[in-house]
Amino acid sequence: MSRKWISVLLLLQLGCYFSPGSSGKVLVWPTEYSHWISMKTILEELVQRGHEVSVLTSSASILVDPYKPSAIKFEIYPTSLSKHDFEVLIRKVIDKWIYHTPKHIVWTYFPVVQELFWEYSDYIQKLCKDAVLNKKLITKLQESRFDLILSDPIGPCGELLAEILKTPLVYSLRFTPGHNIEKYSGGLPFPPSYVPVVMSELSDQMTFMERVKNMIYVLYCDFWFQIFNEKRWDQFYTEVLGRPTTLSELMRKAEMWLIRNYWDFEFPRPLLPHFKYIGGYHCKPAKPLPKEMEEFAQSSGENGIVVFTLGSIVNNMTEERANVIASALAQIPQKVIWRFDGKKPETLGPNTRLYKWIPQNDLLDIKRML
């Protein structure tokens, strides 16, 4: 499906909440890093279509830049937290997950993912509390009369705002550990007999023992998800609303779940009408590469190029780790473009170039590669 038609589908889905022939008002509860980068693409498209988009962001935001010229509006609220607090938290857990956890032993890295979510949720809950208990802010949002709230369930609070403001809710997400939120809040079935738990390294073609293993993963994820909800969010939401409620109860009220992936990249599984795949919506026509980078990429010949990046969070690493990676990359025949912001590794090969930032979409343009 072309980007044009993906955009049309996405806008038709969101547009059903707006009055016919008029622009809608969208309130956004954002998350950080790649989640914000992905969501921003949706917001920019909505703005181009004439809708009014307001992003509710704290003064401690990392990537959400309210001071950069943009057609997107930003509502900034104060918080006692700082950018430094969040960066230290994320980098500490990510470093442990990426560099110090054997990925071939599931029982070792599942608890690390759990730790990441528990520490991350503490931070998000503080931001949420600063927002929803700010009476002046809530009054302003109520008076704005938004038509829709767009949120990512990986960072709870959008559903609480939707409940307080009595506004329809739409989620945008890739996946959650164990697909627990999709299962218990979205009602999406995940039969463990042929749908593997995400990050389990299993496929849909499982032996009997692999199915047993997958079932154990399901039970493990279900258990800590329930504890996570009860201890972290259910009590908090109950206190804010003044009545017994749960995180899952509020999340179940979402009108639509936009899955940031292609359906054919997933293992076969049941799908419900309010879950829509929107993979590829972020793709844009390639722009020309910087001259030096273009020449380096084209010099690879038939071997092609390798684009190596660890995402929007990990920019650098220890010298020892960088040297190990650089040594490995030096042994392959391809030219390597590596997004890296640190001391140049001593083992860097002549086939590898380092860049603090790379235009990944332009580099991976299929026409250039052909």
**Mind spelling out the 3-state secondary structure of 73-125?**
EEEEECCCCCHHHHHHHHHHHHHHHHHCCCCCCHHHHHHHHHHHHHHHHHHHH
Q: Which of 151-155, 164-168, 278-282 has the weakest average pLDDT?
A: 278-282
What one-letter code names the amino acid at 122?
Answer: D
Is the pLDDT at 14 greater than 60? The verdict is no
Tens-place pLDDT, residues 338-370: 988 888 899 999 999 998 888 877 777 644 444
Tens-place pLDDT, residues 310-341: 776 665 577 888 899 999 999 999 999 998 88
Q: What is the mean pLDDT of residues 102-107?
A: 50
Query: Contact 27/141 with Cβ under 8 angstroms?
Result: yes
pLDDT at 161: 95
Tens-place pLDDT, residues 226-275: 776 767 789 899 999 999 999 999 999 999 999 888 887 888 888 899 99
How much of the chain is helix, strand and coil, in % rounded to 5? 45, 10, 40
Is 3.50.50.60 the CATH number for 291-369?
no
Distance CA 194, CA 215 (A): 10
Q: Which CATH architecture has domain 3-79+124-277?
A: 3-Layer(aba) Sandwich (3.40)
Cα 278 to chain centroid, rounded:
14
Q: Which helix (H) or strand (E) holds 58?
A: strand 52-58
Domain spans, the chain:
3-79+124-277, 291-369
Tens-place pLDDT, residues 115-140: 667 777 788 888 899 999 999 999 99
In this prediction, what percent of the chain has a pLDDT beyond 90?
25
Walk across the sheet containing 73-77 and list its strands: 73-77, 52-58, 25-29, 148-151, 169-173, 256-259, 275-277
If you search the block for the tokens 């109860």, which residue do you land on? Answer: 249
Common-topology check for domains 3-79+124-277 and 291-369: yes
Is the pLDDT at 67 greater than 80? The verdict is no
Q: Which of 31, 6, 10, 28 is nearest to 312 (CA)?
A: 31
Cα–Cα separations (whole angstroms), residue 354 to 2, 89, 105, 307: 32, 26, 32, 11
Q: What is the pTM of this model?
A: 0.76
- The packing angle between helices 3-15 and 34-48, to 10°, is 80
